[in-house]
Chains A and B, each alone.
Chain A
Amino acid sequence: MKHIVKILTFHTWLLPIYFVVSLGCYGLLMVGVGLIQFPTCPQEAVLLQQDVVEAKEYLRQKGVDVGGCD
């Protein structure tokens, strides 16, 4: 009986840390699952690159510096 009481006093320290660790694990798991299920659209990627080129041309004509940052 007494060793059960000792286990319970140890667990009052341990339980909040256990919940924090499990919350971190859950977040990481959700990130992993989202990465696995991420839908890629190759056609949209091509269209996006075309949009980027058009926008750069347009802004360069207007006089804005589009040479990239840093």
Chain B
Amino acid sequence: MELADKAVGFLLSYISLSVFTYYTFWVIILPFVNSDHFIHRYFLPQEFAILIPVFAGMVLLCFLCIFIGYVMLKSKKKKA
């Protein structure tokens, strides 16, 4: 079973590294590149660089609240 753990760990690190490099490139390097360079085609418009993390954080918050509420309801129903 340790191979499954290693695979999950590898997948997590790969996802986090790729997200970090993409986001760093998007936010820091791309504004200093000319507007007619070909690399701009691989990146979304810059407003999304704010919208996507804020949206993801909000979705995470909603999910946490819903999960806590669900667990509270389930424990109260079992006690009654």
Q: How far is the CA of A17 from the CA of B28 in the complex (A)?
A: 12
User: How many whole Å from A39's CB to the nearest CB in chain B?
Assistant: 9
* B contact set with A: CB distance below 8 Å: 1-2, 5-6, 8-17, 19-20, 23-24, 27-28, 31-32, 46, 49-50, 53-54, 57
User: How many whole Å from A54's CB to the nearest CB in chain B?
Assistant: 24
Number of interface residues of A (CB under 8 A): 22
* A contact set with B: CB distance below 8 Å: 7, 10-11, 13-14, 17-18, 20-22, 25-26, 28-29, 31-36, 38, 40
Q: Contact check: which of A10, A14, A21, A28 meets B12 at CB < 8 Å?
A: A28
Q: How far is the CA of A36 from the CA of B16 in the complex (A)?
A: 14
Q: Contact check: which of A13, A18, A25, A38 meets B16 at CB < 8 Å?
A: A25
Name the B residues within 8 Å of A25 (CB-CB): 16-17, 19-20, 23
Q: Dominant SS at the A interface?
A: helix
Q: How far is the CA of A28 from the CA of B15 in the complex (A)?
A: 9
Q: Contact check: which of B1, B5, B20 meets A22 at CB < 8 Å?
A: B20
Name the A residues within 8 Å of B57 (CB-CB): 20
User: How many whole Å from A49's CB to the nearest CB in chain B?
Assistant: 14
Q: Contact check: which of B1, B9, B14, B24 meets A35 at CB < 8 Å?
A: B9
Q: How far is the CA of A32 from the CA of B28 in the complex (A)?
A: 26
